[in-house]
Amino acid sequence: MSAGSARRILSNYNKDFCGGALLILIGLAVVYRGVAYNIGTMAEMGPGFFPAMLGVLLTLIGAVVALTGNAAALATKTKGSRLDFRGWGCITVGIIAFIAFGKYGGLIPATFAVVFISAMGDRNNTITRALLLSIGMLVLCLIVFWWGLHIQFPLFAWGE
């Protein structure tokens, strides 16, 4: 298979289909690992119940995303379209920033950095929208992980 024919095959799939397929694969892997533990019953759930059910839910969401992909985008896709490396780069740098800020800065700077940097990967985003998204996700993260789940991740870790 030549590079040109592989490019033509991949260009026939839109982002929704590929994203849905990836969600299905991850969901099935989670279900596979979850059933390796004792699932139990609805009345007495075992340690594998929650991961297995999340895997099933992720698989179903992936199927919906893949099946409802924008078919019109396939028909109007131009032959000369190229990959958007800005998005890939920003997401990769965002993950690296989360690791660095998480270790040396704490939960608040790490969460803000990963969301802000990743949001800038979208060419349609403005700095204001990325800031608002980062602040919103930071508040949500604090409520869920720090206050709700009491994770052992310091809010600030400057100088540690």
- Band of pLDDT at residue 7, cut at 50, 70 and 90: low
What was the pLDDT predicted at 12? 52
Distance of CA 91 to CAs 31, 101, 111, 134, Å? Answer: 27, 15, 13, 14
What was the pLDDT predicted at 96? 94
Instruction: Please tell me the least confidently modeled range out of 27-36, 46-55, 74-83, 149-158.
Output: 74-83
What was the pLDDT predicted at 21? 87
- Rounded to whole angstroms, how far apart are CA atoms 103 and 100? 5
For the stretch 49-88, pLDDT in tens is 888 888 899 899 888 888 887 554 555 555 555 667 888 8
SS3 of 45, please? strand
Instruction: Please tell me the least confidently modeled range out of 4-18, 100-114, 121-135.
Output: 4-18
Model-wide pTM > 0.85: no
Give me 59's structure tokens.
């698989």
Distance of CA 123 to CAs 73, 86, 128, 131, Å? Answer: 18, 8, 13, 15
Domain boundaries, the chain: 3-76, 85-148
What was the pLDDT predicted at 11? 52
Average pLDDT, the chain: 82
Q: Which of 61, 157, 74, 150 is nearest to 108 (CA)?
A: 157
SS3 of 40, please? strand
